[in-house]
Structure 1
């Protein structure tokens, strides 16, 4: 293997787009498939992959990393359909792992492929059970974040806001993220993905996906972080706890983490993925 995240792999979507992926091989178990957060590419998962012996796949959603942009809106259901296409390109059983906005994406995809998905690990996920995500302060914070990210990207300075994340990654994943993760094109994709977040979360609240039969783990960061102070962190963590209870699953705190759990507690995430590997045997 020449890259820490695995060999290049192309997934074709049902409408003919190509998604860039990387696959790490390993002993025969279920395959872990990773879904990143809002406007985040495959590189965020490099440390978690290093803690797993079994096969794993990371990929870039359309308009991120090395995947060409899609035309039209990027509603939650569109993102989930692309993940279903990734699942359909892989033989055997699947454990889905989703961070932040990747949480709702993996939930919808898992409900579509309940015959294939044996486990779901939601890593500090966006959760429609948290009332604060619908409030005006959250919308203002998102808008300010989008404007700021776009401005920094145009100046070539966006990577500086993620120095600690970059520094933690393996060298090859770090270089990929530095080159591909902070471009103007990335911020345009972020804007497209962000456009319908509130409507999509309301839809999830009204009609939650059926995950019956799928093992679920919800991981919450235990620390405050940028944009997630004590009040917000407490509300989000309580929503996670309730979501895990409704699913009959596990709720786990990541002790070293704010929101960026895949980078700050990768071994814990890998441990929870392995629990679902064991269930599949």
Structure 2
């Protein structure tokens, strides 16, 4: 689809049936992050994955990637699809985008599934990152890019994600684990705290829209304290929205990879209700 200012957003559709389920990926990840979840949902419903601007096969956006800008793009995609009502499923920062998009126009949203989402009630988001953390992030992205150039990355990803379809792994390694994707993540991260602060000051409230909040149970890349604080923030959000709160007991942050069936079942639960 083409946005009002001429940018192209790439999306892919699988399955049929209402409601349409639209997936929003986390920071720095394209549609490929949903490679295990979308096929499950597509068995019953029309399901859509897409690439945000600067990611995957979508065009670049010269404007700052604020939460409002990203939300407007998703809203434009929903309008172009013209197949509502929609269930929005967002992982990590994608959950934040799903919430903001629903707040902008709740009339076409039939439900929301937040998958270990970035929650505005987590205080640590508002503490400045150390120089050491920023340097480690730069080294991490440079290492991934170098491994991709010599062909090691695809092999490692396939071993880590044996159930992921091969074509999705190929797309993930050639599009997501690259320097371009890293720049896109950095651009979104620079505006992340401002967007979260606005949500914290004006928390979304929805009347009659069912919501499921899924929290990872394991710390993994987070320390135990941060994991506990994030899940407590999820409980606050679930209470505010009258949401169902589900614990993904086998998962850390990457529930989309470790428990795809759990996510699909929550989509089905909302659709059946």
Both proteins in one fold, TM over 0.5? yes
Residue 166 of structure 2 corresponds to residue 171 of structure 1: yes
> CA separation in 2, counterparts of 1:257 and 1:139?
27
- 1:76/1:188 CA distance change after superposition, 3 Å: same
Residue 37 of structure 2 corresponds to residue 42 of structure 1: no
5+ residue gaps in structure 1? 1-10
Query: Does the 8 A contact of 1:120 with 1:216 survive in 2?
Result: yes
**How do 1:268-279 and structure 2 match up within 5 A?**
268-279=262-273
**How do 1:113-262 and structure 2 match up within 5 A?**
113-136=105-128, 138=129, 143-157=134-148, 159=153, 166-226=161-221, 228-262=222-256
- 1:267/1:130 CA distance change after superposition, 3 Å: same
Q: What RMSD, in angstroms, separates the aligned Cα atoms of the two structures? A: 1.9
Match among 241, 246, 257 for residue 263 of structure 1:
257
5+ residue gaps in structure 2? none
> CA separation in 1, counterparts of 2:131 and 2:241?
31
> CA separation in 2, counterparts of 1:240 and 1:114?
21
Q: Which residue of 1 aligns with 2:7?
A: 17
Q: Which residue of 1 aligns with 2:56?
A: 65
Pick which of 139-148 and 191-200 moved more: 139-148
For each residue in 1:118-137, what CA deviation from the matched residue of structure 2 results, as whole angstroms up to 9, or x when unmatched? 1000000000111122224x
**How do 1:70-89 and structure 2 match up within 5 A?**
70-89=61-80
1:63 Cα deviation after fit: 0.8
Match of 1:237, SS?
helix
> CA separation in 2, counterparts of 1:164 and 1:73?
36
Query: Does the 8 A contact of 2:12 with 2:49 survive in 1?
Result: yes
Normalising by structure 1, we get a TM-score of: 0.89
For each residue in 1:30-82, what CA deviation from the matched residue of structure 2 results, as whole angstroms up to 9, or x when unmatched? 01100000011101111111222211000000111111111021011111111
Query: Does the 8 A contact of 2:84 with 2:109 survive in 1?
Result: no
1:105 Cα deviation after fit: 0.6
Match of 1:57, SS?
strand
- 1:231/1:22 CA distance change after superposition, 3 Å: same
Query: Does the 8 A contact of 1:146 with 1:191 survive in 2?
Result: no
> CA separation in 2, counterparts of 1:145 and 1:105?
26
Query: Does the 8 A contact of 2:21 with 2:47 survive in 1?
Result: yes
Pick which of 207-216 and 57-66 moved more: 207-216
> CA separation in 1, counterparts of 2:135 and 2:226?
17
Match among 47, 51, 66 for residue 56 of structure 1:
47
